[in-house]
């Protein structure tokens, strides 16, 4: 279980220790969970379509995720509202991360949030596309795992190489230059497409 020992990098979200644990996840727990869940999703859709159609659906799911990632971060995680209950929701989901961006147990989405959201998305894809929708969902969730690993790396690892450094620099500008831009994390080209790329390093 994640440690609840006091940390200068952590903001406590709940008085209850049981609830607080649900807001934390270690890299090891994240890796083990998704190493099991992703193959399980593939197994659930096995035989629904041929290999080429399955690959096409997975790639389409990756594209859908990249757009979802951008929209979720821009419009939900940075939702400006005067309604207290919604303000609390935004802070719980994302605002606390901006106040303590380098907490290693909050650089990944906890399973208490990601799994229920994933189940809803899977249900929507199944309603729209039937069993083949599982392959679209698999691509969506592969995209999610890539996003979360990239996000963790941007905060916790030095990230070497031209592309890796560009991704880290892109996200750090979102945190430390302008929270109103650079919303993409794993597919940073969307900020250029949608006009939200940060060009100036001045606040």
What are the tens digits of pLDDT across the range 26-59? 999 999 999 999 999 999 999 999 999 999 999 9
Res 7 pLDDT > 80: no
Question: What integer pLDDT is reported at residue 200 of this predicted model?
Answer: 80
Question: What integer pLDDT is reported at residue 3 of this predicted model?
Answer: 53
In the chain, % of residues over pLDDT 70: 95
Q: Please report which confidence band the pLDDT of residue 201 belongs to, taking 50, 70 and 90 as the band edges.
A: confident
Residue in this structure with the two tokens 């189940």, named with its chain if needed: 119
Q: Please report which confidence band the pLDDT of residue 21 belongs to, taking 50, 70 and 90 as the band edges.
A: very high
Stretch 66-89: mean pLDDT: 97
Question: What integer pLDDT is reported at residue 58 of this predicted model?
Answer: 98
pLDDT in tens, 129-173: 999 999 999 999 999 999 999 999 999 999 999 999 999 999 999
Question: What integer pLDDT is reported at residue 202 of this predicted model?
Answer: 65
Contact predicate 175/57, CB 8 Å? no
DSSP string, 162-196: HHHHHHHHHHHHHHHT-TTS---SS-THHHHHTT-
The token pair that represents 10 in the structure block? 């952590």
Res 8 pLDDT > 90: no
Question: What integer pLDDT is reported at residue 6 of this predicted model?
Answer: 52
Check residues 55 and 3 and name the one with the higher pLDDT: 55
Q: In whole angstroms, what is the distance from residue 86 CA to residue 99 CA? A: 18
CA 125 to chain CA mean position, Å = 19
Stretch 83-91: mean pLDDT: 95
Helix axes 133-156, 27-44, angle to 10 degrees: 170
Question: For residue 128, what is the DSSP state?
Answer: H
Residue in this structure with the two tokens 């971060």, named with its chain if needed: 73
Instruction: Supply the mean pLDDT for the chain.
Output: 94
Question: What integer pLDDT is reported at residue 198 of this predicted model?
Answer: 96
**Which range is least confidently modeled, 9-13, 83-87, 188-192?**
9-13
Q: In whole angstroms, what is the distance from residue 108 CA to residue 23 CA? A: 10
């Amino acid at each position: 279980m994640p440690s609840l020992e006091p940390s200068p990098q952590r903001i406590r979200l709940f008085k209850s220790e049981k609830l607080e644990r649900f807001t934390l996840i270690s890299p090891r727990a994240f890796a083990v969970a998704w190493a099991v869940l992703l193959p399980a999703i593939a197994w659930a859709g096995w035989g629904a379509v041929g290999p080429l159609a399955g690959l096409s659906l997975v790639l389409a799911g990756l594209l859908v995720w990249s757009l979802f990632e951008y929209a979720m971060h821009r419009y939900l995680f940075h939702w400006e509202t005067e309604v207290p209950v919604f303000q609390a929701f935004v802070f719980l989901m994302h605002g606390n991360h901006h106040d303590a961006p380098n907490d290693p147990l909050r650089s990944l989405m906890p399973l208490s949030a990601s799994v229920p959201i994933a189940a809803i998305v899977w249900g929507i894809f199944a309603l729209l596309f039937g069993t083949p929708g599982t392959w679209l969902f698999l691509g969506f969730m592969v995209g999610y795992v890539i996003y979360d690993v990239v996000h963790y790396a941007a905060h916790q690892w030095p990230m070497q190489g031209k592309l890796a450094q560009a991704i880290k620099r892109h996200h750090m500008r979102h945190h430390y230059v302008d929270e109103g831009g650079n919303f993409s994390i794993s597919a940073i080209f969307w900020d250029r497409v949608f006009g939200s790329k940060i060009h100036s390093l001045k606040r």
